[in-house]
């Protein structure tokens, strides 16, 4: 038994989409007789009537609707496959692997990826959200093409991206807010600190840990924020991520010297700039255009 071809299904879809054989012929640049032959041969092969002609208009039967619905998915997949093959032939990457530290502002990340998606719809993004040296480990292991990190990376040249401001915060009712003097390191060490775990598996660091008597370690910044809002400790967190909680009064900055503000400069690092494909280079340009030279700082509510 001969098999139905994608070309036959494509002819049938053209007839249905454009309302008849003559109309389809003008669009797909084939003769109406060849399209008619392809559709009738498809019906004969399947043993199912797919079309009925009413006046000058060709309409799908109920069986035709069900089968063409499934065939349309195959046609879309085939078109996507051909498009991917064409991009690969031109040297366009099928996927770009990206690691981004969780301290990078999520709104900026979403904007960059949305812009990239619009310009490069056929290239997939594999995003790894890392913490501290976790992204560096992925870069060294050859698992990512691009890395955004605030950690030093030996053997690679990074492009300066933006500084991320950190502040020390706790729930407004936390005991540290009740002290009537500027806080010292000893004051902080007497209370529980929430720390986000380094996502590296080999050599982890404890950046920001003040050697508090109690330390709770979590895997994601969002978890730390939720625990802070429940009054379970204090933490250093990116200002851009906790600004809504500060403005709403769910969190409050601690009364530390210099307003407890510190900054971490983020950099964008390419695994191999010399061999990077056009999509990878476009993503680098998108990050530099959106975040390069910017500052995530916002004015935080006063600690008092």
Region 295-302: mean pLDDT is 49
User: According to DSSP H, which parts of the chain are helical?
Assistant: 6-18, 21-28, 32-46, 62-89, 106-119, 134-140, 185-189, 221-229, 239-248, 278-291
Angle between helices 106-119 and 278-291 (to 10 degrees): 140
In angstroms and rounded to an integer, the radius of gyration of the C-alpha atoms of the chain is 29
Domain with CATH 1.10.10.10 in the chain: 6-89
Q: Which CATH code for domain 95-161+265-291?
A: 3.40.190.10
Where in the sequence of the chain do the CATH 3.40.190.10 domains occur? 95-161+265-291
What fold characterizes domain 6-89? Answer: Arc Repressor Mutant, subunit A (1.10.10)
Reported as a pLDDT band with limits 50, 70 and 90, residue 139 is very high
The pTM (predicted TM-score) of the whole model is 0.66
- CATH 3.40.190.290 intervals, the chain: 163-264
What is the pLDDT, as a whole number, of residue 304?
42
Percent of the chain clearing pLDDT 90 (strictly above): 45
pLDDT of residue 300: 43
Query: Which of the pair, 261 or 32, is modelled with greater confidence?
Result: 32
List phi, psi (to 5°) of 36: -60, -45
Residue 193, SS3? strand
Dist CA 222 CA 242 (whole Å): 9
What number does CATH give the domain 163-264?
3.40.190.290
Q: Per-residue confidence at 302, pLDDT binned at 50, 70, 90?
A: very low
Torsion of CA 62, 75, 29, 87, to 10 degrees: 170
């Amino acid at each position: 038994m001969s098999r139905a071809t994608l070309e036959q299904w494509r002819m049938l879809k053209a007839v249905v989409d454009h309302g008849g054989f003559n109309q389809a012929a003008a669009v797909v640049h084939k003769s109406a007789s060849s399209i008619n032959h392809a559709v009738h041969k498809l019906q004969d092969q399947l043993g199912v009537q797919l079309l009925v002609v009413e006046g000058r208009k060709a309409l799908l039967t109920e069986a035709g609707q069900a089968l063409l619905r499934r065939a349309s998915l195959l046609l879309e997949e085939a078109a996507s496959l051909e498009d991917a093959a064409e991009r690969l032939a031109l040297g366009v990457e099928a996927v770009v692997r990206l690691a981004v530290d969780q301290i990078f502002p999520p709104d900026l990340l979403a904007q960059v990826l949305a812009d990239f998606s619009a310009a490069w719809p056929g290239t997939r993004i594999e995003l790894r959200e890392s913490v501290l040296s976790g992204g560096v480990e992925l870069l060294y292991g050859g698992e990512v093409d691009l890395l955004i990190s605030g950690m030093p990376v030996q053997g690679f040249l990074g492009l300066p991206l933006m500084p991320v401001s950190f502040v020390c915060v706790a729930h407004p009712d936390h005991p540290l807010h009740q002290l009537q003097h500027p806080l010292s390191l000893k004051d902080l060490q007497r209370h529980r600190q929430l720390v986000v775990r380094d996502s590296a598996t080999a050599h982890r660091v404890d950046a920001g840990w003040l050697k508090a008597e109690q330390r709770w370690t979590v895997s994601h910044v969002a978890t730390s924020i939720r625990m802070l809002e429940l009054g379970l400790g204090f933490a250093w967190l990116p200002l851009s991520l906790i600004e809504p909680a500060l403005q709403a009064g769910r969190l409050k900055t601690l009364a530390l010297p210099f307003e407890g503000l510190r900054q971490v400069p983020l950099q964008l690092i390419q695994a191999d700039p010399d061999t990077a494909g056009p999509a990878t280079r476009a993503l680098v340009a998108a990050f530099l255009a959106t975040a390069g030279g910017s500052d995530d700082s916002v004015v935080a509510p006063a600690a008092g």
